[in-house]
Amino acid sequence: MSDNTYNGWTNYATWRVNLEVFDGMSPREFPYVDDVYELSRCLKTYMDDLLYDETGGKGLAYDYARSFLADVDYYSIAEHMADDYDLFTEEEEEEVE
């Protein structure tokens, strides 16, 4: 079994998207986010919108980019962002449960 992790991230696509798109962004830029899962969905939507805006949603580049982005682990990026900004503390998580 091979190890597909990359620089401590789930895979190369996750590492690269985090580095080039989300690094330095605050999770607070996504209002009304209550947990890591919701943040991960917002990150995916943000990336989908960015790709569409850049390519017009058509063409070979769009198709290849969509294929690449299918490998991104947005939940892992969301966890990283939440940890960096102490977005969801243990006390808040206990209240939700």
Q: Is 2 inside any structural domain?
A: no
pTM above 0.75, yes or no: yes
Residue type, 57: G
Q: Is 1 inside any structural domain?
A: no
Residues above pLDDT 70, as percent of the chain: 88
Q: Is 18 inside any structural domain?
A: yes
Number of structural domains in the chain? 1
pLDDT band at 92 (very low <50, low <70, confident <90, very high): very low
Domain that holds residue 16: 12-96
Owner of token pair 């939940």: 75
Q: Is 70 inside any structural domain?
A: yes
pLDDT in tens, 61-74: 999 999 999 999 99
The predicted pLDDT at position 84 comes to: 83
